[in-house]
């Protein structure tokens, strides 16, 4: 039986976002991308990425002097697991409660609301 993927920490998620957006990167490239939003040392980024490789969150290509990392988990799957976990832990499994709280706390654009309506319409059609 496959072991469940670990839930990435906030720092690990920041690294994964860089890898999801840019594809394979060296530690230096990830570190430079993170420098825009957070102040951290190169060795901290390196250590985090090594730990992430051990956890199975990233894969490391050691064929060249500068190791190249890529995300080992998919962005969509990761977000789905994290939302499901949040819904279970905080909202007692209620998708409605999670969505209502999200919309109360973060204003949605007209485009966001239209996409939400379309999703709800598709789901309603699937159930009939």
pLDDT at 66: 85
Handedness of CA 102, 103, 109, 110 (dihedral sign): positive
Domain-located, residue 51: yes
Q: How far apart are CA 110 and CA 35, in angstroms?
A: 33
Residues of the chain scoring pLDDT < 70: 1-3
Residues 84 and 54 in one domain: no
- Number of domains within the chain: 2
Alpha helices in 56-94 (DSSP H): 75-90
- CA dist list (Å): 124 to 95, 118, 119: 15, 10, 9
- The reported pLDDT for the residue numbered 1 is 56
Quick check: is 28 in a domain? yes
pLDDT at 7: 87
Closest CA to 27 of 15, 14, 39: 15
């Amino acid at each position: 039986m496959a072991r469940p993927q670990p839930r990435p920490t906030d720092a690990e998620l920041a690294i994964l976002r860089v890898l999801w957006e840019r594809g394979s990167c060296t530690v230096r490239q990830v570190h430079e991308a993170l420098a825009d939003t957070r102040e951290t040392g190169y060795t901290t980024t390196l250590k985090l990425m090594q730990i992430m490789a051990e956890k199975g969150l990233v894969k490391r290509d050691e064929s060249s002097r500068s190791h190249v990392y890529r995300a080992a988990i998919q962005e969509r799957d990761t977000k789905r697991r994290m939302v499901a976990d949040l819904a279970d832990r905080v909202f007692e499994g209620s998708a409605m409660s999670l969505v209502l709280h999200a919309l109360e706390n973060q204003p949605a654009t007209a485009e966001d609301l239209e996409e939400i309506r379309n999703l709800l319409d598709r789901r309603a059609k699937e159930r009939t």
